[in-house]
Every structure is written in structure tokens, then in C-alpha cells.
């Protein structure tokens, strides 16, 4: 009665409904591997049938040896037992191989799908999660789902099949052994009440701690230079020890609970098995059954108990599985980016490749999720062959504006469009900025954004069919060829993680070259020349301006040399974008 009340309470709390929703989500992946799961289940059931055959052969052998049933087939029974043992071993090995093969395949399929969904998730929503947390969810939780599909789902049927076989054998021959087989069930049911609640809490805590530890490690290794510069090695080592101790304490706490539960279940199992064994001896002594039949009953009573225990043990498995599913659903059920106009944008880009495109923002409003207003009534215009400057105090919204242009963030009011040509024609085509319009942009963000690999590989990330000549041309335009050509391997020279092996200025020029190679109609430079000396900066901007390609360029900067190269300069003031006159630009240059 107490257990019934407990589960009714969980229903009212919504936990069971939530687990059912998560189970259905897991099923969406399981159904894609329906025949794989069926095949794996059939293999497991065939092992059960072979084991049953072995039990009957063992019964006959014992009866032959004890003289209860001597028909001269001792050798035949012995040979059959050996053959069945070999078949069992073969099926076991085949099952293990196929299980490993299928598990890897399903794991890759699910991992790839989740990876794609995470990348297509709304960027602004995704920033609410720490990178370490995302890695844990994508790695550990995805692995739990893939392994669960090939263990939990088939095991429900396999354990149930084992239960039915053992139950049928006992009912058919001597139903009294069923009493002993079911004797431990009340204890299992009572324990499941405590285990259910603790398993839910433990899995959530384990996932949170794992994500926290992963995030800590990721941030530490990404910022080793800063940690060393501030002499923070001991501090971070102590933090790691603290995080590790928290994980150890949590695991030991659950281990103690599991140990107590296991000891209790073992004690109950010993009582039940010994009682069953004693009953079997009594039945043999009274002449009701043979020794062989007793061994058969004992083995099947054990199978019945084991199957019942295994079915009960699936409760923690489903909790662990649904907890992982819930953590992944938190991510993949966030708003997805809309690429429905992808074909339209592709056609637009091809159609106006020769004349270029303009960017026009009118009355744009944007506020962060916490309510902080960044823009209200902001206007910007940028046309082909123009370099437009965007200035303002640090933290006032320059980078945010570029993210709005890239549709990483969504404007809450106003219009943001790309327009064919310079927008002066009455029939000029207008397209609202969406994630699909990113194919019209090249982007050089702040900081070092080069990836590990060769220079050529980094370049071809944005244009896979680029020739060596095209790469060199882009490097020359970005003033990067002057140092790349001196490298022993040239464009095939390796770049370490985070641009290692190159100075900040060199890495910045490589980033600019990569963006130029893409030949997108719009180029966004976010403080992209901050690490360059004035002469190199002026040369790079001059090369961009001289380029015959009809490129529209927007730069955020504090550098006066950049401002002098701009057609117009917008300053972010009072949450608007105001065009500066020449006197204001000159004054800003002098102050700088």
C-alpha cells in the first residue's frame, strides 16, 4: 500500500509523465534501428532456448547417472550436452561481436544527429550552456542513449522471455517451486521505492558534476597561458581536487546505498535459494521427483528469480536513460534556426554576384534576454565597394550589431535586409536577414580563430575547391603571403590549436585571408586589424578597397587609420547608430 501511494505521488508530481515523454523521444531513435533491435533480441532469446535445452540434457544425464532412468543413452546425452555448450559459446561470441558492431553504428548515427541538431540550435539560446556541459551532454548522454537502445529495450523482451520459459517449466512439472522463486519479490518491490527516488537524484547530480568538471577542465586547458601568467597553478590544482572530491563523495554515497541494497538482496536470495534447495531434497526423498528433475527445477527456479530481479533492475536503467534523454532534449528542443529560404538566398547570391549587394537596417531594436536594451531605432546602410566604420565605447554593442547582421541574434523590431546592387533601382530585390543569408557574409571575429591543421586546410574550410593559386592570392591581399612563403612547407605548414605557432598579428592576417578567399559579397571585420602595425593595416585595407570584387565591408574599430579609409562612420550613441561628420572623425582620431 505504501509503495502504491509512493508511485501515485510520483504520478501527481509529473515525474512518470516526464519519463514517458523522454521514453517516447528515445523510441524515435530506436525505431530507426527497428530491425537491428529485433535481430539483437532474437539472438538473446535463442540463447535462452539453448540454455533451456542444456537444462533438460543435464536432467537426463543426472537421471542416467543416478540410475533413475537408464536407457543406455548416457554417451548420447553427454555428446548432446557438449554440442549444446559449443553452440552456446558460438552464439555468445556472435552476439558479442554483433552487439559491438551495432552499438558503434547506432552510437555514431545518434551522435551525428545530435551534433547536427546542436549546431542548428538557435545560437543565442545555446549560449546559456557552458561548453563543458554541451560536450558532456553530446558525449556521455548520447552514449547512454545509444547503448540503452541496444540493451534496455531488447532486455525487456529477453528477461520477460526467460521469465515465461522458467515459469512454464515449473508450472508444467511442479508448481510448488514457484512459491520459492517469488519469495524475494516483495523485498525487491519495497527496495524499488527507495531506489527510484535516489536514482533520479543521483543521476541528475552525477550529470551536473560531470558537466562542471568537464567545463572546468576545458576552460583550464584553453587558458593555460593566463593561468601561468597570473601564477594560478596552485589555485586551479586545488579547484580540481575540490571538484574531484565532490564527485568521489557523491559516488561513495551512492555506492554505500547500493552496497546495502545488494547485501540485503543477497541475503534474501540465499534464504530463498536454500529453502528451494531444501524443498527439492524433500521432494526427492519423498519419491515425488528424481534427482535430475530436482536439478532442472532448481535451475529454472533460479532463472525465474534472476529474471524477476533483472526486470526489477531495469528501473534504475530506465531512470538513467531518461535522465540522459531529458538533458539532451533540453538542448535539441530549443528553438532551431530557420533555413527555409536557403534556396531563395542561393539564387539571390548567384543572380547579383557581379553587382554585389547592400545592407540596410532601419529602426532596429534589440535587447538581451535579461532585459538590457542595446539598440532602439538603429539605422545602418552599407553598399558595394564601401567600407563602413562602426565605432563606440567598449561594451556598447559593436559586436552585437555584427551578430545581428549574421542572424546569430534576432532583432525584436525594425527591418534588417540585404538588397540587390546599391539598392537604388526601383525593382531592387529585398531579402530579410535570416540564418540562410550567412552564405552572403565573410566574418573575421575578434581574437585568434584559426583552427588546428594546415594553412591550406584552414583556407579550404570556407571554399573547398580553392586552388593553391587562389589561396596564395588571398594571402597576398591580406599581407600574409610575405611570411607564409618563407615557411618550409608554405601553405601546407601546420597551425597549432588556437593559432599556435604564429603571432597574433600573423594569425589575424590569416583570418582575413580566409574571409577574402570565400569571396562573399559582404565582409564583416570585428577589430580584425587590431594586432597589425599601422603600415600593414593600411595596406590590407587598401587591398580590400582596390579589389574589383563588389564587396560591401563593415568594420568595428578604435583605430584612426581604419576610420580614414571608411566611406561613412557610424557611432553607437544612445542606442542608435549616428553618422559622424568629418570633424567628429578627425576629433576622434586626435583623441585616440
pLDDT recorded at residue 359: 93
Mean pLDDT of 228-234: 78
Cell of 540: 590590407
Mean pLDDT of 444-457: 82
Q: Classify each residue of 436-471 as buried b or exposed e, where b means 16 or more C-beta atoms within 10 Å of its C-beta.
A: bbbebbbbbbbebbbeeeebbebbbebbeebeeeeb
How far is 201 from 196, CA to CA, in rounded Å?
9
Burial of 203 (0-12, 13-18, 19+ CB in 10 A): buried
Mean pLDDT of 517-525: 90
Residue 192, pLDDT above cutoff 80 = no
Residue 408, pLDDT above cutoff 80 = yes
Residue pLDDT, tens place only, 321-330: 888 888 888 8
Which numeric CATH code is attached to 28-332?
A: 1.20.1560.10
Q: What are the DSSP E strand ranges found in 305-369? A: 357-367
Q: Where are the domains of the chain?
A: 28-332, 344-591
SS3 of residue 404 by DSSP: helix
Residue pLDDT, tens place only, 75-131: 666 677 677 777 777 777 777 777 777 777 777 888 888 888 888 888 888 888 877
How far is 552 from 519, CA to CA, in rounded Å?
11
For strands 413-420 and 430-432, give the pairing.
antiparallel
Query: 344-591: same fold as 28-332?
Result: no
Give residues with Cβ within 8 angstroms of 451, minimum separation 6: 457, 458, 461, 495
- Total-model pTM: 0.73
Residue 65, pLDDT above cutoff 60 = yes
Which numeric CATH code is attached to 344-591?
A: 3.40.50.300
Q: Which of 529, 536, 534 is nearest to 553 (CA)?
A: 529
Concatenate the DSSP letters of all residues of 25-78 into one string: HHHHHHGGGHHHHHHHHHHHHHHHHHHHHHHHHHHHHHHHHTTSS-SS-HHHHH
- Average pLDDT over the chain reads 79
How far is 167 from 224, CA to CA, in rounded Å?
62
Q: 139 φ, ψ to 5°? A: -85, -70
Helix (H), strand (E) at residue 163: helix 152-173
pLDDT recorded at residue 194: 57
How far is 247 from 202, CA to CA, in rounded Å?
11
521 neighbors 349 (Cβ within 8 angstroms): yes
Amino acid at each position: 500500500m505504501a509503495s502504491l501511494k509512493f508511485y501515485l505521488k510520483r504520478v501527481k508530481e509529473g515525474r512518470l509523465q516526464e519519463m514517458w515523454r523522454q521514453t517516447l523521444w528515445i523510441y524515435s531513435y530506436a525505431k530507426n534501428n527497428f530491425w537491428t533491435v529485433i535481430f539483437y533480441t532474437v539472438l538473446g532469446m535463442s540463447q535462452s532456448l539453448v540454455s533451456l535445452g542444456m537444462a533438460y540434457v543435464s536432467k537426463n544425464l543426472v537421471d542416467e547417472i543416478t540410475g533413475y532412468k537408464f536407457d543406455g543413452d548416457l554417451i548420447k546425452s553427454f555428446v548432446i550436452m557438449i554440442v549444446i555448450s559449443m553452440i552456446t559459446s558460438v552464439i555468445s561470441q556472435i552476439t558479442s561481436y554483433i552487439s559491438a558492431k551495432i552499438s558503434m553504428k547506432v552510437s555514431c548515427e545518434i551522435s551525428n544527429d545530435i551534433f547536427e541538431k546542436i549546431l542548428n540550435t538557435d545560437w543565442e539560446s545555446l549560449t546559456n550552456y557552458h561548453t563543458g556541459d554541451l560536450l558532456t551532454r553530446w558525449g556521455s548522454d548520447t552514449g547512454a542513449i545509444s547503448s540503452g537502445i541496444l540493451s534496455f529495450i531488447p532486455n525487456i523482451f529477453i528477461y520477460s522471455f526467460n521469465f515465461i520459459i522458467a515459469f512454464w517449466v515449473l508450472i508444467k512439472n511442479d508448481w510448488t517451486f514457484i512459491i520459492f522463486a517469488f519469495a524475494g519479490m516483495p523485498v525487491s518491490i519495497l527496495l524499488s521505492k527507495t531506489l527510484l527516488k535516489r536514482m533520479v537524484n543521483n543521476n541528475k547530480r552525477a550529470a551536473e558534476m560531470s558537466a562542471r568538471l568537464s567545463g572546468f577542465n576545458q576552460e583550464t586547458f584553453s587558458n593555460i597561458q593566463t593561468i601561468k601568467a597570473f601564477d594560478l597553478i596552485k589555485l586551479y590544482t586545488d579547484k580540481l581536487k575540490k571538484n574531484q572530491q565532490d564527485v568521489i563523495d557523491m559516488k561513495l554515497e551512492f555506492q554505500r546505498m547500493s552496497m546495502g541494497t545488494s547485501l540485503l538482496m543477497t541475503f534474501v536470495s540465499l534464504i530463498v535459494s536454500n529453502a528451494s534447495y531444501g524443498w527439492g531434497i524433500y521432494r526427492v526423498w519423498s519419491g515425488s521427483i528424481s534427482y535430475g528433475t530436482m536439478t532442472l527445477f532448481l535451475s529454472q527456479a533460479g532463472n525465474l528469480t534472476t529474471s524477476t530481479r533483472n526486470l526489477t533492475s531495469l528501473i534504475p536503467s530506465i531512470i538513467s536513460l531518461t535522465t540522459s534523454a531529458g538533458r539532451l532534449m533540453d538542448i535539441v528542443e530549443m528553438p532551431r534556426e530557420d533555413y527555409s529560404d536557403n534556396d531563395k538566398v542561393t539564387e539571390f547570391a548567384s543572380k547579383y554576384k557581379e553587382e554585389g549587394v547592400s545592407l540596410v537596417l532601419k529602426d532596429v531594436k534589440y535587447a538581451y534576454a535579461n532585459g538590457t536594451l542595446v539598440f532602439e531605432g538603429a539605422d545602418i546602410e552599407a553598399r558595394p565597394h564601401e567600407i563602413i566604420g562602426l565605432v563606440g565605447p567598449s561594451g556598447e554593442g559593436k559586436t552585437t550589431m555584427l551578430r545581428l547582421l549574421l542572424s546569430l541574434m534576432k532583432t525584436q523590431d525594425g527591418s534588417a535586409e540585404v538588397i540587390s546592387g546599391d539598392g537604388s533601382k526601383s525593382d531592387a530585390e529585398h531579402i530579410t536577414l535570416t540564418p540562410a543569408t550567412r552564405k552572403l557574409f565573410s566574418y573575421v571575429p575578434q581574437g585568434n580563430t584559426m583552427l588546428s591543421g594546415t594553412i591550406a586546410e584552414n583556407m579550404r574550410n570556407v571554399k573547398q575547391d580553392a586552388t593553391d593559386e587562389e589561396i596564395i592570392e588571398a594571402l597576398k591581399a591580406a599581407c600574409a603571403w610575405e611570411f607564409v612563403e618563407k615557411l618550409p612547407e608554405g601553405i601546407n605548414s601546420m597551425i597549432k590549436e588556437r593559432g599556435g605557432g604564429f603571432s597574433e598579428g600573423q594569425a589575424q592576417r590569416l583570418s582575413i585571408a580566409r574571409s577574402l578567399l570565400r569571396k562573399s559579397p559582404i565582409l564583416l571585420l570585428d577589430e580584425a586589424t587590431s594586432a597589425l602595425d599601422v603600415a600593414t593595416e593600411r595596406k590590407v585595407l587598401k587591398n580590400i578597397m582596390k579589389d574589383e570584387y563588389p564587396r560591401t565591408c563593415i568594420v568595428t574599430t578604435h583605430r584612426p587609420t581604419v576610420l580614414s579609409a571608411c566611406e561613412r562612420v557610424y557611432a553607437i550613441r544612445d542606442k542608435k547608430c549616428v553618422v559622424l561628420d568629418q570633424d567628429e572623425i578627425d576629433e576622434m582620431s586626435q583623441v585616440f
